[in-house]
Structure 1
């Protein structure tokens, strides 16, 4: 249950009143009461007991999502966005896709929530919707920030940012980190090769992840983060790329618990030196099909100076 401004409240009611999908939260009810000087507006969602994805990625949480669960979240959210973009006679652009708006139900299914900033897509014969730039810093596509021209490709960009959030466990924009690490997309860029990629993977996973699938998830993210919006895939195409990663992970690993409790950070630091010395001469075979350099050579068609 939450309280919202009038415009966002109306948008939320209108959107959730016409859409229905397993990966979108259900609107159970809503009400507005006039208290004289102000009107109290409430929305009641279905109960989502396992909080948000943002919670488990945060260093403040004593628990984190397993790698298998992160892949499932990537799949679930891709399904939700694909439905909004392509599953109806009209398009809905979410416009505020981020980890805090992804909630987890009692079965750990991920569902998109908070449609207060959602907009209908362009009418037939039009390429975009022109609107005021709103959203969350770090997630919005550069062309939307610069021009206010909104398309579904803004959501695709946001999804690409989110994939790196799942991989690294870091927020897209974090002013509490050193200057060179504050913007996630700029920070990961120098590590996008097979040798250095493990350095950006969330340490809270404690090495319990498939490097091969993490690299492939990164490739999908990079496709979503193409500087040219027309080069970004549709969300249905993204879903087709993500789903095999989930299938392979479920076949090769024990699903176990969707969450894990990492060892204290100090303990990780104590063992890191030993792991490095033991493994520094070892290489991990990775069948990326595209060749190591091809995975990363043509990526990031955007200017690092852009704030997004």
Structure 2
């Protein structure tokens, strides 16, 4: 909602009826005309972009449900958002940003490049005697922290 609207989650400079982003955004999302007004004016709207934004807005609305059991799990959110990955194109015309990322690449291509870089980075750092090996990182983390209840499940964290 913050990304779509360009507003903060809580903006005390706004009138009381639009101070809380979630309630304001859900109210704006009901009507197509008001929803267009809720979208950050910096976003270049076209038919495809509006469709993608509507999908993300609907997901955001479900993720902000009052009751935790009404919210989608992370797998559902990833599935919804992954369908938009191929459509995503950077708006910046510069081919490389300050981090050396080629913005002309698709997100999956950038991910593969990053994974390849990380693989080289791990090999280089593990050969250095000054840096600890990153190969055994996961084995140094206990599967269950000391004193954690055996009955605790990941779903309990929701």
Q: State the match for 2:142 in structure 1.
A: none
TM-score (norm 2): 0.51
1:243 aligns with 2:82: yes
What does the per-residue CA deviation read over 1:199-246, in whole Å, with 9 as the maximum and x for residues that have no partner?
100012254771100000011112212222112121122111101112
Alignment partner of 1:215: what SS?
helix
Choose between structure 1 and 2: higher helix proportion: 2
Q: CA deviation at 1:197?
A: 1.1
Q: Name the CA shift for 1:206/1:241 in 2 (closer, same or farther; >3 Å).
A: closer
In 1, distance between residues paired with 2:28 and 2:50?
Answer: 14
The answer to whether 1:177 aligns with 2:21 is no
Summarize the alignment of residues 122-201 of structure 1 with structure 2, pairs less than 5 Å apart. 164-192=1-29, 193-201=31-39
The answer to whether the aligner puts 1:230 opposite 2:65 as a matched pair is: no
Distance 1:178 1:206, change over 3 A: farther
SS at match of 1:237: helix
> Is the partner of 2:79 in helix, strand or coil?
helix
Runs of 4+ off more than 6 Å:
none
Q: 1:257 to 1:238 in 2, by over 3 A?
A: farther
- Partner SS, residue 42 of structure 2: helix
Query: CA-to-partner distance for each residue in 1:169-213, whole Å, 9 max, x for gaps?
Result: 000001122222211112223221323211100012254771100
For the pair shown, the structure with the greater C-alpha radius of gyration is: 2
Which residue of the other structure, out of 50, 53, 71, is the alignment partner of 1:214?
A: 53
Alpha-carbon separation, structure 2, partners of 1:201 and 1:238 = 21
Pick 1 or 2: higher relative contact order, CA cutoff 8 A, min separation 6. Answer: 1
1:2-81 alignment, distance < 5 Å: none
Unaligned runs of 5+ in 2: 96-158
**1:242–1:230 distance in 2 versus 1, CA, 3 Å:** same
Distance 1:257 1:199, change over 3 A: farther
State the superposition RMSD in angstroms. Answer: 2.5
Q: CA deviation at 1:254?
A: 6.9
Q: Distance in 2 between matches of 1:200 and 1:211?
A: 12
The structure where strand makes up a greater share of residues is: 1
Number of aligned residue pairs: give it: 93
